[in-house]
Amino acid sequence: MKETLRVGVIGCGMISVNHFKAIRRLEGAKLTAVCDIDPAALEKAVSEQGVKGYQDYHDMFADVDVVHICTPHHLHAQMAVDALNACKHVLCEKPMAITAADAQRMIDAAKHSGKQLAICFQNRYNESSRKIRELLDSGKMGKVLGGSAVVTWDRGESYYGKAEWRGKWATEGGAVLINQAIHTFDLLRDYAGEIVDMKCSMSAKRLEDVIEAEDTCDMLLINQDGGRFLFYASNCGVGNTPVQLGLKCEQGEIRLYGNRVTVKMKDGTVTDEDYSSGFTDGKDYWGSGHGFLMEDFYRCLHTGDKFPIDGDEAMKTTILIEKAYTQHCQERRRAE
């Protein structure tokens, strides 16, 4: 019989619902507490989930073994450090942190406490993404020579109007790249291998009067073998187009469109599979992996295995995102 881990969620806004749903389905985990500084959000979560509520997250720690962080970006690092220092395991929503220095504080706290720190890049757990990872690991495709990824979604004035922290440098740390497109960026980075150079441009094309940061971003990433990877993301989309990602490999090409993976081998063999069937949570255009990720996280907590998307792994994406924003700010200063 598995020990039941008591789970507390900090931040009862939009994404907390996915956490509540996924926790409910897990064996060996039970939601016991929620926390929010907004009394209305807290009251709603308390009454819907039937658990204890806290306005100060520090007070919640006594009641839980695992803390899920679902708050605005600028709060992730300190909340994670505090939870780890209180000897709690942590699952933190993306982005890990706004800066690599903050992310390093989280890694150090996890090492010091001996507790697990996991970052919620749930799209790595989509069945389509896992299929691509499996293909690359099998050696069948040979080396990845280059690739591209495109995210075009619609986030307008009303989306940014719903929460004060969005679209601001201090609290979101950017916009489309660090928030909406981070999952696809993380996937491309993971498939590409080590990124040794990057060039990035950002602009606000539609929302310049609404947000401080970018609504559109494009990048060229170079990996350790000189392979080129193009990345384009925009919140100016007409609707939310499924994510597109392509990889050119020595032995063939892989294309991802939403949940569909098409593989064209050099010998002419083509396979085309739709992995939508495993859809568990959320919106299909941003992935269905929350449930799968949490299953694996809690499996690791019960077995003592290391969760694969830990602080060190998420740090690789954090560093590149920080570099992209640094380049953007330097460009802006030069232009002024």
Ligand X SMILES: NC(=O)c1ccc[n+]([C@@H]2O[C@H](COP(=O)([O-])OP(=O)(O)OC[C@H]3O[C@@H](n4cnc5c(N)ncnc54)[C@H](O)[C@@H]3O)[C@@H](O)[C@H]2O)c1
Backbone angles phi, psi at 298, to 5 degrees: -70, -30
Stretch that binds ligand X, among 6-14, 147-155, 195-203, 257-265 (CB under 6 A): 6-14
Residue selected from 100, 120, 245, 249 as contacting ligand X according to rule CB under 6 A: 120
Q: Is 204 in the site for ligand X (CB under 6 A)?
A: no
Distance in Å, CB of 274 to ligand X, minimum:
21
Q: Is 51 in the site for ligand X (CB under 6 A)?
A: no
Distance in Å, CB of 323 to ligand X, minimum:
19
- Give the x-and-dash track for 127-146 against ligand X (CB under 6 A): --------------------
Q: How far is CA 121 from CA 80, 82, 224, in A?
A: 16, 21, 23
Secondary structure in 3-state letters for the chain: CCCCEEEEEECCCCCHHHHHHHHHHCCCEEEEEEECCCHHHHHHHHHHHCCEEECCHHHHHHHCCEEEECCCHHHHHHHHHHHHHCCCEEEEECCCCCCHHHHHHHHHHHHHHCCCEEEECHHHHCHHHHHHHHHHHHCCCCCEEEEEEEEECECCHHHHHCCCCCCCCCCCCCCCCCCCCHHHHHHHHHHHCCEEEEEEEEECCCCCCCCCCCCEEEEEEEECCCCEEEEEEECECCCCCCCEEEEEECCEEEEEECCEEEEEECCCCEEEEECHHHCCCCCHHHCCCHHHHHHHHHHHHHHCCCCCCEHHHHHHHHHHHHHHHHHHHHHHHHHC
Q: Is 15 in the site for ligand X (CB under 6 A)?
A: yes
Instruction: Write the Ramachandran bin of 50: left for phi over 0, alpha for psi from -120 to 50, otherwise beta.
Output: left
- Tell me which residue has tokens 């075009």: 152
Q: Is 5 in the site for ligand X (CB under 6 A)?
A: no
Q: Is 9 in the site for ligand X (CB under 6 A)?
A: no
**In the complex with ligand X, which residue's Cβ is closer, 71 or 234?**
71
Distance in Å, CB of 255 to ligand X, minimum:
22
Q: Is 41 in the site for ligand X (CB under 6 A)?
A: yes
Residue selected from 19, 74, 89, 94 as contacting ligand X according to rule CB under 6 A: 94
Residue selected from 6, 37, 198, 222 as contacting ligand X according to rule CB under 6 A: 37
**In the complex with ligand X, which residue's Cβ is closer, 227 or 286?**
286
Stretch that binds ligand X, among 25-33, 34-42, 189-197, 246-254 (CB under 6 A): 34-42
Instruction: Give residues 304-333 in contact with ligand X (rule: CB under 6 A).
Output: none
**In the complex with ligand X, which residue's Cβ is closer, 10 or 84?**
10
Residue selected from 5, 31, 84, 93 as contacting ligand X according to rule CB under 6 A: 93
Residue selected from 179, 184, 280, 318 as contacting ligand X according to rule CB under 6 A: 179
- The residue length of the chain stands at 336
Q: Is 186 in the site for ligand X (CB under 6 A)?
A: no
Distance in Å, CB of 131 to ligand X, minimum:
20
**In the complex with ligand X, which residue's Cβ is closer, 160 or 229?**
160
Q: Is 8 in the site for ligand X (CB under 6 A)?
A: no
Instruction: Give residues 59-88 in contact with ligand X (rule: CB under 6 A).
Output: 70-73, 75
Q: Is 168 in the site for ligand X (CB under 6 A)?
A: no
Amino acid at 321: I
In the bound state, the residue with its beta carbon closest to ligand X is 13
- How would you class 294 by CB atoms within 10 Å of its CB: exposed for 0-12, middle for 13-18, buried for 19 or more? buried
Binding site for ligand X (CB under 6 A): 10-15, 35-38, 41, 57, 70-73, 75, 93-94, 120, 122, 163, 179, 286
